[in-house]
Chains A and B, each alone.
Chain A
Amino acid sequence: VNNGGEKCIDPLQRAAILQIDLHNQSHPEVEDGELATVCYRPEGLDSLVQKTSFSKKELQVLYRGFKNECPSGIVNEETFKSIYSQFFPQGDSSMYAHFLFEAFDTHNNGSVSFEDFVISLSIILRGSITDKLNWAFNLYDLNKDGCITREEMTDIMNSIYDMMGKYTYPCMRDSAPKEHVDNFFQKMDRNNDGVVTIDEFLETCQKDENIMQSMHMFDNVI
């Protein structure tokens, strides 16, 4: 059920949880026999060091922050959204956070464990340029079918512009995201078939100076 983590349930906790469950009929996550609170523990530090390109100290710092905000060991989408929204107080970042969550949740089980989290971070921050671009493409490709359609890009663009909020200069026009999408497709879609494939994407990005430079911006985030 999980990638190497273990379910840790204290027997006392189990009894307490069942007790709570009896009184709390409207608890959505609890099913018969399933317990409400589980906690995940990640694999050992050493195996994570091998899987990712972070050092031991960096993983320690990351885990401390992770565990502080999610004591149960996994992030669900709501927590993800609430954490992300604290960085963008002026706008609505829930849509973009949702897309991010989809991208981080590589096993598609509705929750992001520390391993998923740290592996994705490793790609973004320490991977090669191709890896990074692949990850970005994966983010944009909402249905993971290998190509970005106009609708997908429009959704992504709307979510990015939503994060700006209402109070911007110049005033945000409703057509701004759409124009941006058109611009994007004009740049990326070489054969004008209305979709951007991974090859077109990689090719165009690698030729663009700005994009290449901005990709390197993440080299010293941790």
Chain B
Amino acid sequence: MAAGVAAWLPFARAAAIGWMPVANLPMPVAPTEKNKRQDELIILNVSGRRFQTWRNTLDRYPDTLLGSSEKEFFYNEETKEYFFDRDPDVFRSVLNFYRTGKLHYPRYECISSYDEELAFFGIVPEIIGDCCYEEYKDRKRENAERLMDDQEDNKDAKLPNMTFRETMWRAFENPHTSTMALVFYYVTGFFIAVSVITNVVETVPCGSAPNQKEVPCGERYTVAFFCMDTACVMIFTVEYLMRLFAAPSRYRFMRSVMSIIDVVAILPYYIGLVMTDNEDVSGAFVTLRVFRVFRIFKFSRHSQGLRILGYTLKSCASELGFLLFSLTMAIIIFATVMFYAEKGSSSSKFTSIPASFWYTIVTMTTLGYGDMVPKTIAGKIFGSICSLSGVLVIALPVPVIVSNFSRIYHQNQRADKRRAQKKARLARIRISKTGSSSAFLHSKRNGLFNEALELTNSTEDEQRLSKSTSLLESQHHHLLHCLEKTTNHEFVDEQYYQQSYLEAGLQNYPSRSPSLSSQDGVTGTCCTRRSKKHHTPLPNASAPAHMQPLTHTHTHPQGLQELSTIHIQPLSTSRSSLNMRVDEPAPLNCQSSQITTAIISIPTPPVTTPEGDAHLPAGPTHQNVVKVSAL
């Protein structure tokens, strides 16, 4: 529930009058205000600047410093005000949060000072409003990155328990992790360079022996070049196989672009090995050697920039396609025109329209080789129009594409960021939604817990659990309780609902032997497997209080004879809750992280009595399902 609508709770409760004549059951008693205080102004003195607000405003968020009794520590008796020795500028935002229910992040504030103030006042930064959240997160991330850069030396400590395969993969992907990786990185880089240079030098004409025409070096020093080639290919093959071995997902690795480049780079050599004998095919084999130039693309593993360029080209494919299409249109138009214009002149080079394509392209891109020139007047006129329009057609899309590049590039980065944030925000919204409903369920159970304890006369437990629920909370819960009474159905949380749904077809667990040693309040070994799952307090309240309808039973040697037990996981509500939540009193977490309670099940099935049989009859499952209901 947002703070702003807390003031509408009286309206919502009044609107419940619509349920009254329809309800068949009596309504629960409304909570009364024990000490109905008149709303008073309180003064907050923050480093000399005085802020005033209603006390009720601050009480809207009881799990923050100002909303809880923690502020009493700062009360100054002489001046009758609360004094905080903190930054008054940031405090403005904090106080506005109480007033409007929205937390804003002022842009001029330093991010770490803001965070500190929020932490001091017990406010979770996640509730910053939509308008300021992105800015806040961006600044925070930048700050974190800056801090991380300083600590990068410590970061690359080798993680324990990494298999050899994982270590290898990590070494391949990030050469800075170990010296071996770095050596490997440089060695492969060196051999790629050597291989490329070899390919290039192979075709350079070396000095010729007398009485022989110039031959390229490749043919003169065939053996040397062949040895170089073999060495390089061997290195590349070994590298490829090692990467294939280390890859976490081999299939995905084989499909990736880099591995295809690797394969294409070394394949011609092997094909050449196989095919040296056959004369006819060797012609085709020569062309395969062209593919050796793809080895240069292997450099992209070594260069971040190349990778980014490739990616942006890929993402700009549609713009490039459009450019190509418009150019093609223009070329065809002008080539046709030029052909027909030059048809008349003799010895014209414009022999066909495709032949005119070359002229058009050269003219439009303002290259102007001069190997084809128009001779007729009409041809010259159209030729000049062609070159003028070429300037326009080329010059116009190019800046658009360039700006598209940068736009798409930045946009992609921001889109990923926003996607990650969106998930977190949806989770946050979900938490706040389930938070209020689970608070109701939780307080319902605790209400029953108190009643159950009353039956067993353990007063000290009762005192431990008497919560300081805010009046607002109890009124809201009363409202939901009335609705339950009207419709004769109960609110349950999603987990319980699904389990009871599933268990409608399942059988009971066989009942365990009663010889379980009971430690203080912790259930015996049969429950530990399940209990271990919920041992850590959950940061999000989406599955807070686990009503596990444990369908096995056991008796505790203690005085409580139980039919079935349920675990109540104490909610880690404290400062991580986003709504007005019920405060967990500290003693709840004293002994164990779980409390087992005796809950007496529905009174209607006569078999299940509080004096508990250790073995329940295998009746319909819903009888064994623990239902928390008012007795």
Residues of A within 8 A of B (CB): 57, 61-62, 64-66, 68-69, 83-84, 86-90, 96, 99-100, 103, 117, 121, 124-125, 132-133, 135-136, 139-140, 156-157, 160-161, 163-172, 176, 180, 183-184, 201, 205, 210-211, 213-215, 217-218, 220-222
Is the CB–CB distance between A160 and B22 below 8 Å? Answer: yes
- Is chain B's binding surface mostly helix, strand, loop or mixed? helix
Alpha-carbon distance A161/B9, docked complex (angstroms):
20
Closest B residue to A133 by beta carbon equals B21
CB distance from A131 to the nearest CB of B (A): 11
Other-chain residue from A166, A169, A215 in contact with B500 (beta carbon distance below 8 A): A169
Is the CB–CB distance between B1 and A90 below 8 Å? Answer: no
Q: Which of B81-89, B250-258, B292-300, B484-492 contacts A (4 or more CB under 8 A)?
A: B484-492
Complex interface: chain B residues within 8 A of A99 (CB): 18
Q: Which of B23-31, B66-74, B142-150, B410-418 contacts A (4 or more CB under 8 A)?
A: B23-31
Is the CB–CB distance between A218 and B13 below 8 Å? Answer: yes
Complex interface: chain B residues within 8 A of A180 (CB): 22, 24, 487
Is the CB–CB distance between B479 and A87 below 8 Å? Answer: yes
- Given known A87-B479, A215-B20, A218-B14, contact A169–B627 (CB-CB < 8 A): yes
Complex interface: chain A residues within 8 A of B23 (CB): 210-211, 214
Alpha-carbon distance A164/B30, docked complex (angstroms):
20
Is the CB–CB distance between A201 and B11 below 8 Å? Answer: no
Other-chain residue from B1, B491, B500 in contact with A87 (beta carbon distance below 8 A): B1
B226 at the A interface (CB under 8 A): no
Complex interface: chain A residues within 8 A of B608 (CB): none
B204 at the A interface (CB under 8 A): no
Is the CB–CB distance between A87 and B476 below 8 Å? Answer: yes
Is the CB–CB distance between B490 and A62 below 8 Å? Answer: no
- Given known A65-B7, A84-B15, contact A169–B433 (CB-CB < 8 A): no
Alpha-carbon distance A161/B22, docked complex (angstroms):
12
Complex interface: chain A residues within 8 A of B26 (CB): 210, 213-214
The 9 closest A-B pairs by CB, nearest first: A65-B7, A167-B497, A168-B489, A214-B27, A124-B14, A214-B20, A169-B490, A89-B433, A87-B12
- Given known A168-B491, A218-B17, A221-B14, contact A184–B7 (CB-CB < 8 A): no
Is the CB–CB distance between B1 and A136 below 8 Å? Answer: no
CB distance from B630 to the nearest CB of A (A): 13
- Given known A69-B4, A89-B433, contact A139–B18 (CB-CB < 8 A): yes
B19 at the A interface (CB under 8 A): yes
- Given known A84-B12, A87-B476, A176-B487, contact A168–B492 (CB-CB < 8 A): yes
Complex interface: chain B residues within 8 A of A222 (CB): 10
Is the CB–CB distance between A169 and B17 below 8 Å? Answer: no
Complex interface: chain B residues within 8 A of A139 (CB): 17-18
| Between-chain CB contacts (< 8 Å), 16 pairs | A62-B10, A86-B5, A90-B437, A121-B14, A125-B10, A132-B17, A136-B20, A160-B19, A169-B500, A169-B627, A210-B25, A214-B23, A214-B482, A215-B17, A217-B29, A222-B10
Closest B residue to A58 by beta carbon equals B10
Interface residues on B, range: 35 or more
B8 at the A interface (CB under 8 A): yes
* B 356-372 binary contact with A (CB < 8 Å = 1; else 0): 00000000000000000
Complex interface: chain B residues within 8 A of A161 (CB): 487, 489
Is the CB–CB distance between A124 and B491 below 8 Å? Answer: no
Other-chain residue from A65, A176, A217 in contact with B489 (beta carbon distance below 8 A): A176
Is the CB–CB distance between A217 and B27 below 8 Å? Answer: yes
Is the CB–CB distance between B17 and A89 below 8 Å? Answer: no
- Given known A164-B483, A167-B493, A167-B494, contact A100–B501 (CB-CB < 8 A): no
Alpha-carbon distance A207/B279, docked complex (angstroms):
112
Alpha-carbon distance A122/B527, docked complex (angstroms):
54
Alpha-carbon distance A166/B433, docked complex (angstroms):
15
Complex interface: chain B residues within 8 A of A136 (CB): 17-18, 20-21
B496 at the A interface (CB under 8 A): yes
Alpha-carbon distance A190/B10, docked complex (angstroms):
34
CB distance from A111 to the nearest CB of B (A): 16
Alpha-carbon distance A210/B22, docked complex (angstroms):
10
Complex interface: chain B residues within 8 A of A156 (CB): 18, 22
Closest A residue to B28 by beta carbon equals A217
CB distance from A48 to the nearest CB of B (A): 16
Alpha-carbon distance A172/B479, docked complex (angstroms):
20
B400 at the A interface (CB under 8 A): no
B434 at the A interface (CB under 8 A): yes
